[in-house]
Structure 1
Amino acid sequence: MRDFNFFMPYQQQISEKKTSSSNIIPIAVGAGVAVICLALAGFNYMNIMSMNRSISELDSKMNNEEFVSDVGRVQGKIDELNSLKKDEIIFGSLKIFVDIQSKVNESVVRLIASQVPDNLYLMDLSIVQDSIDIKGRANSEVAIAQFQHNLRLTDEFKNIFVSDMNKEESYYNFNIKFDAKGAIEDEDKQ
């Protein structure tokens, strides 16, 4: 006789349940991934739509006549500012040059004035770069020669010569030209 196993029907149901639950896990994981992908796609779609709305709003603002005129005005101010910055650099360089020139001129004038003998008067002094031209009057030729000699003794000048001298009534008009050897230091700093 055959043995009857009363638990056999239950064992078949349990084994069927085991196989069906093992098939559910990949399906559940696949469904979860699909839901996440759809959620991300929906989120991205909403972001794209929001960005498109923002872009269209910005485009309409940029095409507004008032905004265009404001941009033109700001661009004009930027161009003016750039021009002023260039001018500032140029004027800064000119200021340095003028400061150097005025110090050189002042020190040269002081040095020349200290060499002027009695009875000699300077009427005009012009300094162009290193060349100096002096026009003056003197009571005698000796005073002019003494002035020329005093300038030579300074060792600050070269090519000293009297280019013109003529007598008018009781005084002599003269013109002395010479060149500065180099940068003349300000006497106050020595």
Structure 2
Amino acid sequence: MIRDMNFFSPYQGQKKEQKNKNIYVYSLAGFLSVVIVGSLAWNSTNIILLNRKIKNYNEKLEQEDIKEKIAKWDDISRKDDILDRYNNELSKIVGSLKTREIVTTELLDKLSSTLPTEVTFNSINITNTEISIQAVSTSRVAVGEIEHNLKRLDNIQDVYIGGISGDEIYTFDIKCVLKDVE
């Protein structure tokens, strides 16, 4: 039995492989084309629909009653901004007023802690910048002691004792300059 030999069979397989390769390339190109055209159609449709919505909203905004409401809202918004700024400034003022309380129990406690037993206060006058005290003492040493004690307080900048008068009971004035605490 004689068998025929086909010398072209290797070439025929290559042709078949080329044909399969072309099918894959054309299928991929077709799929990508469908995806590109589909996304173009989808995006174009969305753009058209969104443009219609924008046109509708713009038409609604052009209506007189809507324009009046927008103008009223702008006015209210402007007034609200002004009131917010006003409120913020008032809050700052109130805060600074609270910190500038002059006569506090702490200040009075500090003043009384400096007082020697021989000294009594007749009157105390406190302002924003100074404290004026009229006092009586039974000794000159106690007058010097109260001056020394007042100078050691942290919120007093300067102390001045003026007009000591008397022989056994000394009356005198004390002026204390307060430190500027902000």
Q: Normalised by the size of structure 1, how large is the TM-score?
A: 0.53
Which residue of structure 2 aligns with residue 156 of structure 1? 150
Deviation at 1:43, TM superposition (A): 0.9
In 1, Cα distance between equivalents of 2:172 and 2:58: 76
Structure 2 partner of 1:88: 91
Once the two structures are superposed, residues 100-119 of structure 1 have per-residue CA deviations (whole angstroms, 9 ceiling, x without a partner) of: 6534553367567x8327xx
Give deviations 1:63-85, integer Å, cap 9, x for gaps. Answer: 53213321331232133123312
Choose the corresponding residue for 2:175, options 178, 184, 190.
178
Q: Which whole-Å CA distance do the structure 2 matches of 1:69 and 1:148 have between them?
A: 76
Gaps of at least 5 residues in structure 1 are 6-13, 136-142, 166-173, 183-190
Q: 2:120 is aligned with what amino acid? A: V
Question: Secondary structure, in 3 states, of the residue corresponding to 2:120?
Answer: coil
1:71 corresponds to:
74
Cα distance in structure 2, aligned partners of 1:49 and 1:148: 99
- Does the CA-based 8 Å contact 2:132-2:174 persist in structure 1? yes
Cα gap change, 1:61/1:104 in structure 2, threshold over 3 Å: closer, same or farther? Answer: farther
Matching of residues 10-89 of structure 1 within 5 Å: 23-60=22-59, 64-65=66-67, 66-89=69-92
Q: Identity percentage over the alignment?
A: 16
What is the match of residue 170 of structure 1?
Answer: none
Deviation sequence 1:5-35 (CA, Å, 0-9, x none) = 9xxxxxxxx99x9577765543333222222
> Cα RMSD (Å) of the superposition?
4.3
The 1:106/1:50 distance shift into structure 2, 3 A limit, reads farther
Q: Is the 8 A contact 1:116 1:147 kept in 2?
A: no
What does residue 116 of structure 1 align with? 120
**Which residue in 1 is equivalent to 2:108?**
106
Q: Cα offset for 1:159? A: 1.4
Instruction: Provide structure 2 residue ranges, at least 5 long, that are not aligned to the other structure.
Output: 5-11, 152-158, 166-170
